[in-house]
A and B are shown apart, each in its own frame.
Chain A
Amino acid sequence: MTVLGSTGLWLAFLLGVWGALAGIVGGLTARPDLARSARHAVFAMCGALLVAVFSLEWALFHHDFNVEYVAAYTSRNLPIFYTWSALYAGQKGSLLFWATVLSVFGSLALVLTPRHHRELLPYVAGVVSAVAAFFISVMLFGHASPFERLAYTPLDGNGLNPQLQNPGMVFHPPMLYLGYISITIPFAFAIAALLSKKLDTDWLVAIRKWTLLSWLFLSIGICLGMWWAYVELGWGGYWAWDPVENASLLPWLTMTAFLHSVMIQEKRGMLKKWNLALIIGSWLLSIFGTFITRSGVISSVHSFTQSNVGYFFLGFLIVAGILSFTLYAIRLPLLEAETRLESMVSREASFLFNNLLLIGIAFSVLWGTLFPILSELVKGTKITVGPPFFNQVNIPLGLALLALTGIGPLIAWRRASVPNLKRQFAVPVTVGAFATLIVLVAGMRDFYALVAIGLGAFVLGTVTQEFTRGARARHRQYGEGYALALGRLLARNRRRYGGYIVHTGIVILFVAFAGMAFKTETEATLRPGESASLRSPYGSTYMFTSLGLSQYDALNRQVTAAAVEVRRDGKKIGILTPEKRQHVDALGRPTFQPSTEPSIMSLLREDLYVVLGGVVNGTEQAVFRFTINPLVWWVWYGGLIVALGGLIVMWPGGGSPAVRRAQAGYAVRLVGEEKE
């Protein structure tokens, strides 16, 4: 099967190269035969890559340990669930996954894009083919083929890293990859618009669903990554400002900026240059993230092992960046705005400031991530840039952004008058001030947490006011009951009200993040029957009593588990069972260092997080870490609401044809068209 897989890769590479040439040349020369050939090349490349994926999965499931990749990431006793996910657990397999998903997305884009965008499609096929061909070339020429064979066949494989044997790790990487990869489609349309000079708002309509899809995948992928880090790694947190985490945040921030600024282009014909730059920038950042993960240039716990693959990505990043922005610069005269801003106090202006902050945060994250390299280059001094740096720089920016999340929807398009502003801001500001006062009186003194809660309440006030007014208007106009009016309001204007639901999720996330300021923890050594206590920020006292340790075998691991009884203010609320795991292969040989498996009790107000560190002198006297993490459950809940809002926004249909036409933007007459 590896021969089939390798053949599939080579075939896909050749098809990718042909698709790129045929697509670009076919588009530029308006030759329908070449355009058709490029389209077919994308479909065929997709088929060849799917064959390669099938071949690798076959090798994985049949324990063909003569294949180096299979031996490196699986073992005979690895559960099937994780055997499947070994496809993207390593560098080589994930490159194959990348290229395959891109070819699937490319094919879908070519099939699903309405016919009236057909002039753009040859270029789209060309760009998708070129990017996919690059990824395949890395596998073929960068010694990163997942089909390489060993000179011998081991009895069993190394197995999958225990930290990757978690459901979160099965879904988190593909979601993030899907986010990264799907940005290529909007990018391909942007390049198509630049090459074809069709720079009206039409190309934006073609990519709307794709940009939302990328953003949604990235959002879900980032949240799943946080969840995995929290439940698996055992350090009791979910975000460590690790370079690879940062790399995933960068395109999310720029895509979020785009999703806001694109509304200005659709509604007012402004910001064409900015929107194009954001799409190109987002795609380059997705490649940058891939480069960071795979190059080993920056130390990260997430990254794959250092290899020469990084040079390929760096070269590709530079070439793609130069080509894209050169084309962009050439087309700048065609990207003049149709209208001008009318007032500083308008929704357009607030969106621009929102964009400024989003890009500012992206810049500061990028700056912090790359600063160790810069410092070494300039001063020759190695430094570490960790969470204290990122928190100091980004928390104020994040809070300012939260404020704008509430301010933006309150300001009218074009120009807001003073009476309008008073009317719009009165309720949300009162709600925000009241919430701040309540937590202040309750004894909260952490400045950032106070501001986060106050601003969060302000934004929730804004969202509630918008929903209430909308539902009331429908009630008045159509006589609908309030529940029905609310439902129809959402269904008829999914983009606007789905967006407000996303804002609600973001508020919940910010407030939950603020909860971590009140994290408390202690370490204790307990014999069976002994207890340790910890006071929660809400005033309750938790008592953790060790009931003893047990040892048993599971499918591919030997487990040492502690049973810890938990009492809150004297009342028993449950038993937690943190574990130490020694993973073994099918022959009973240890495969990795013993790992910890925290046990978590998630409550609405706080999480109880217990880690079994180890034992003293081989006895049941065990070392524990007990942590109380306030509001963590709300992080996952907020993430779910963000995803739900995103789904509502991108759900097809909704609204009258007139509203949909308005949402779809209008064909803005190309400035300078006459000069052409």
Chain B
Amino acid sequence: MRRRNDGTTECERREFLGLAVAGLLSLVPSFRHSVAVQDTLPGTGPSGRLWDPVRAGRPLDPVTAADNDAAIQAIEKQIHCTCGCNLDVYTCRTTDFTCAVSPAMHARVVALAKQGKTGEQILEQFVRDNGVAILMAPPKRGFNLAGYFVPSLVIVVAGAILTLVLRRWARAAPPPSTSRSPSAPTGTPEELERLRRELDRLSV
């Protein structure tokens, strides 16, 4: 194409047809997608907008200082997200960016913290509003104590019983043969110890 003096462009027939075909093809979605395979590098494109923002998922707000606040995160790690993901609020909001529940719960935590409430008070508030299932681990009181201590208790009791049984078995077992039977090997305690070590080494 050549530029004329009056600002219009002179276009040859072949170029015109080419442009027309390209224009038509760009209306076909699949071709449009393949045309769109290009990098929007820094500084290019009007205000750095994405070609198709919908593809990038739900629009997000810029990260604030509260989002990275360690105290806020510590509280959120103790609160169960109610979206059904089984994760805590912090993990859900920084992982499942399609979730609308965890950002709302995060906003609630931040709002409560801004009111001057401590972590403990914020958790209590959540429990008042949603029930105890909102906590990632049940509080250590009442029946929940069984949850925390039964496994350890069972292991300690089983360990004690096992120790007693083993001790009884060991007592009931014949003592290590010290009397010399005719076929028993003779040797000094050091030699017998060495023999035992060698046998141990050969053992499976």
Contacts and interface: CB of A to CB of B under 8 A. Distances in A.
Given A340-B169, A384-B135, A662-B204, A615 B197 contact: no
B204 A263 contact: yes
B47 interface: yes
15 contacts: A236-B95, A341-B166, A342-B176, A367-B150, A386-B137, A469-B201, A523-B67, A551-B50, A553-B33, A593-B98, A611-B94, A617-B59, A619-B53, A659-B204, A663-B204
Given A357-B155, A588-B29, A301 B85 contact: yes
B22 interface: no
B193 A419 contact: yes
Contacts of B33: 553, 558
A413 B203 contact: yes
B133 A616 contact: no
Contacts of A343: 170, 173
A343 B144 CA distance: 40
A613 B173 contact: no
Contact of A392 (B94, B135, B137, B201): B137
Interface stretch (B2-10, B35-43, B113-121): B35-43
Closest 7 CB pairs of A and B: A618-B53, A364-B151, A528-B42, A594-B57, A386-B136, A360-B155, A620-B48
Interface in B141-196: 142-144, 147-148, 150-152, 154-155, 158-159, 162-163, 166-167, 169-170, 172-173, 176, 193, 196
Nearest to A339: B173
Contacts, number: 252
A235 B91 CA distance: 6
B177 to A, nearest CB: 11
Contact of B147 (A375, A469, A580): A375
Given A344-B163, A558-B52, 13 more contacts: A235-B91, A299-B84, A341-B173, A357-B155, A364-B155, A384-B135, A385-B137, A547-B41, A550-B40, A560-B56, A594-B98, A620-B49, A623-B97
A357 B147 CA distance: 18
Contacts of B78: 388
Contacts of B94: 235, 521, 523, 611, 613, 625
B132 interface: yes
B95 A618 contact: no
Most buried by A among B38, B63, B148: B63
B176 A415 contact: yes
B138 A385 contact: yes
B204 A496 contact: yes
Interface in A490-518: 493, 495-496
A620 B200 contact: no
Contacts of A388: 77-78, 136-137
Interface in A295-316: 299-301
B37 A552 contact: yes
A523 B61 CA distance: 12
A356 B173 contact: no
A375 B97 contact: no
A341 B173 CA distance: 7
Contact of B56 (A381, A393, A611, A614): A614
B60 A495 contact: no
Contacts of B166: 341, 344, 349, 352
Contact of B55 (A378, A527, A551): A551
Nearest to B73: A521
A113 interface: no
Nearest to B29: A588
Given A367-B150, A560-B55, A553 B37 contact: yes
A668 B22 CA distance: 85
Interface in A358-389: 360, 363-364, 367-368, 371, 375, 378-379, 381-389
A367 B153 CA distance: 12
Interface string A551-593: 1110000111000000000000000000010100000100001
B137 A389 contact: yes
Given A527-B48, A619-B50, A620-B49, A342 B143 contact: no
Interface residues of B, number: 81
A528 B85 CA distance: 32
A234 B154 CA distance: 37
Interface in B5-45: 29-30, 33-34, 36-43
A594 B51 CA distance: 16
A398 interface: no
A616 B52 CA distance: 13
Contact of A356 (B47, B59, B148, B158): B158
A268 to B, nearest CB: 11
Contacts of A382: 131-133
Contacts of B148: 389, 392-393
A301 B39 CA distance: 36
A344 B168 CA distance: 10
B155 A397 contact: yes
A147 to B, nearest CB: 30
Nearest to A553: B33
Most buried by A among B50, B51, B91: B50
A551 B49 CA distance: 11
Interface string B100-142: 0000000000000000000000000000000111111110001
Given A384-B80, A412-B200, A470-B201, A582 B55 contact: yes
Contact of A528 (B41, B87, B136): B41
Most buried by B among A267, A384, A387, A473: A384
Interface string A454-497: 00000000000000011001000000000000000000010110
A389 B138 contact: yes
A240 interface: yes
Contacts of A420: 193, 196-197
